[in-house]
């Protein structure tokens, strides 16, 4: 359950990637390649809808609502009923390729798929960027607090809303 840092995982190597200037085409391509490998290794299928859904999520370091996703998918010839989007998004989430941001009722691509990680999300209220921060110490503190009450954590959501560095400077 502990977060392992892998140098070959771009998300681990550069945790603040989302907020920084970077070669995003490479970043997205890389995440997609990792996803494909992962799904294949598990004997599952990254079908056209699922693959396209992930690609769309990877277009930006943002969160996207299921209905916005549905609009995109429908425009490309996929079904245009809610379950089409929810099923693809749920599949990606179950496989650790996407995360659900509860505060936004939206989904975002996972930036280090395949790595066991406890995600904490930093959501910039100005530019809508969503970054996945290294949260091992955060989860450790939470687990400790829970243990105090004899509570055992199975899943957790840790989300923070605020301003990214760029938007702070823009505000000043």
Residues in the site for a copy of itself, rule: CB under 8 A? 15-16, 19, 102-103, 120, 122, 124-125, 131, 133-135, 137-138, 140-142, 144-146, 148-165, 168
Is 60 near Zn ion (CB under 5 A)? Answer: no
Q: Is 172 helix (H, G, I), strand (E, B) or coil?
A: coil
DSSP state of 117: -
Closest CA to 95 of 143, 134, 57: 57
Q: Between residues 102 and 165, which has the closer beta carbon with respect to DNA?
A: 102
Q: Give the N- to C-terminal CA distance of the chain in Å, as an integer.
A: 40
Is 85 near Zn ion (CB under 5 A)? Answer: no
Q: Between residues 35 and 101, which has the closer beta carbon with respect to a copy of itself?
A: 101
Is 134 near DNA (CB under 7 A)? Answer: no
Helix (H) or strand (E) holding 43: none
User: Which part of the chain contacts DNA (CB under 7 A), choosing from 11-19, 28-36, 45-53, 108-116?
Assistant: 45-53
Q: Shortest gap between Cβ of 92 and DNA (angstroms)?
A: 11
Contacts of 9 (CB under 8 A, 6+ apart): 34, 112, 114, 115
Beta-strand relationship, 119-124 and 130-134 = antiparallel
Say if residues 156 and 147 touch (Cβ distance below 8 Å). Answer: no
Q: Shortest gap between Cβ of 80 and DNA (angstroms)?
A: 5
C-alpha angle with apex 87: 83 to 89, nearest 5 degrees? 120
What x/- string results for residues 89 through 108 when contact with Zn ion is judged by CB under 5 A?
A: --------------------
What x/- string results for residues 115 through 144 when contact with Zn ion is judged by CB under 5 A?
A: ---------x-xx-----------------
Q: What are phi and psi of 64, to 5 degrees?
A: -130, 135
- Rounded Cα distance between 127 and 160, Å, is 14
Q: Between residues 15 and 114, which has the closer beta carbon with respect to a copy of itself?
A: 15
| Residues at the site binding DNA, with contacts judged by CB under 7 A | 44-45, 47-50, 65-67, 77-84, 86-88, 90-91, 105-106
């Amino acid at each position: 359950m502990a977060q392992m840092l892998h140098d070959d995982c771009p998300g681990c190597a550069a945790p603040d990637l989302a907020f920084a200037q970077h070669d995003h085409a490479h970043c997205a391509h890389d995440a997609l390649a990792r996803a494909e490998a992962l799904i294949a290794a598990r004997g599952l299928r990254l079908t056209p809808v699922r693959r396209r859904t992930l690609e769309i999520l990877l277009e930006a370091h943002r969160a996207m609502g299921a209905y916005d996703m549905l609009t995109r998918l429908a425009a490309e010839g996929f079904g245009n009923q809610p379950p089409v989007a929810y099923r693809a998004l749920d599949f990606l989430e179950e496989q650790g390729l996407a995360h659900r941001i509860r505060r936004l009722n939206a989904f975002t691509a996972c930036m280090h798929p395949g790595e066991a990680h406890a995600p904490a999300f930093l959501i910039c209220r100005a530019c809508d960027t969503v970054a996945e921060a290294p949260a091992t110490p955060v989860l450790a503190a939470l687990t400790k607090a829970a243990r105090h009450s004899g509570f055992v954590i199975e899943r957790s959501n840790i989300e923070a809303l605020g301003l990214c560095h760029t938007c702070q400077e823009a505000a000043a």
